[in-house]
Amino acid sequence: MATDSPTFGLWYDFRQRPPLGDYARLYAECLEEIEEAEGLGYEGVWLSEHHFVDDGYLPSPLAVAAALAARTKRMTIGTNVLLLPMHHPLRVAEDAAVAHLVSGGRFILGVGQGYVQHEFEVLGFNRRHRPSLFEEGVEIIRRAWEEGRIGYEGKRWRFENLPFGPRLERRPPIYIGASADPAIDRAARMADGFLTSAAWGAGNVLTYRKLREALARHGRANADFPYVASGIVYVREDSERARSEVAPAIAYQRSRYAEWGTDRGRPKPEPCRGRGTSSATPRRSQRASRGFTQRRPTTTSASGLVCRASPTSRHSRVCACSPLRWFPGSATRWEGVKPVPEVWANDV
């Protein structure tokens, strides 16, 4: 899957600007946007997952992946990331296999460990067991796809050796999200590709180097190992106007991830602050170079780009994307987009 140049795609989380509006309309518009993006040449779409939050974050990426598989013809469809330790691995294997079949073999299962305290508690999984739940989950899913049987005996999961379906002629790739050193090493050892964030500048270069070193340690230095870096791209003719419009949304996104990564009873991190030159309502935005218009007048869209590339090739390719579909507030003074503790679903 590696190429000599970047490929670009979109990353969706289906969040809304509070107060939450018409879910049916939002989902229909997101699906329409993704169909339009395929026609404009984007190579893939990635779907993320979180639960029990107040901004409508997508809780069911595999369901949306199957819907997109039926509405698109060419683009890759993947999860970035599905929080594997909070799922039964055989249900993930089944649903992902269905999405892969409906898409004609275009699906990628991207998985991470998760980190949010309330998600683990409500869904009934012990957060301390994340590493073993994660590794066994990947092994169970891969074995079910390849062998067509579910027999397994491990530390966390045990299954009778029953048949698995639907059967696949070619299984989906499994990408692993990582940024902490143990997770990077795990990805190099177990994954078919790598998922990370490109939102922190030079830190991504270090992650890239660590991945190359880990691949070499595991005898995979020459492997075709796609590298997906996800971040934010916002297009405007004027850079200052672009920064002014999109900074509050970026600040919101980073603040919420940091907030979710802070356990109950611990001090909450200071929120990021973006800049806004006025208290104006976010405008309809347009990617003029592509002729792609965001139709919802009460939201502003940041176009997203994702690339897949191989860290073992001669070319380093890093790219990214997230459609930030709304702003959390207005009249925010610019203080830069402050770095906050980097806490993503794939950190540990």
pLDDT tens for each residue of 242-256: 989 999 988 888 898
DSSP per-residue codes, 229-287: EE------SSHHHHHHHHHHHHHHHHHHHHHHTSPTTSPPPPPP----SS-PPPPP-EE
Q: Is residue 327 part of a domain?
A: no
Tens digits of residue pLDDT in 326-343: 333 322 222 233 332 333
Q: Is residue 1 part of a domain?
A: no
- pLDDT for 303 equals 35
What's the domain range around 140?
9-309
Least confident range from 7-21, 130-144, 167-181, 263-277: namely 263-277
Q: Is residue 314 part of a domain?
A: no
Pair 26, 16: CB distance under 8 Å: yes
Cα torsion at 118, 122, 126, 131 (round to 10°)?
Answer: -70
Backbone angles phi, psi at 11, to 5 degrees: -130, 120
Tens digits of residue pLDDT in 206-244: 999 999 999 999 999 988 899 999 888 888 999 999 989
Q: Is residue 344 part of a domain?
A: no
Tens digits of residue pLDDT in 181-210: 999 999 999 999 999 987 555 778 899 999
- pLDDT for 286 equals 27
Give the mean model confidence (pLDDT) for residues 29-58: 96
CATH number reported for the structural domain that contains residue 98 in this entry: 3.20.20.30
Least confident range from 8-17, 183-192, 283-292: namely 283-292
Q: Is residue 332 part of a domain?
A: no
Q: Is residue 215 part of a domain?
A: yes
Q: Is residue 298 part of a domain?
A: yes
Residue 234 or 166, more confident: 166
Q: Is residue 132 part of a domain?
A: yes
Domain count, the chain: 1
Mean pLDDT across the chain: 80
Q: Which strand (E) or helix (H) includes residue 207?
A: helix 202-217
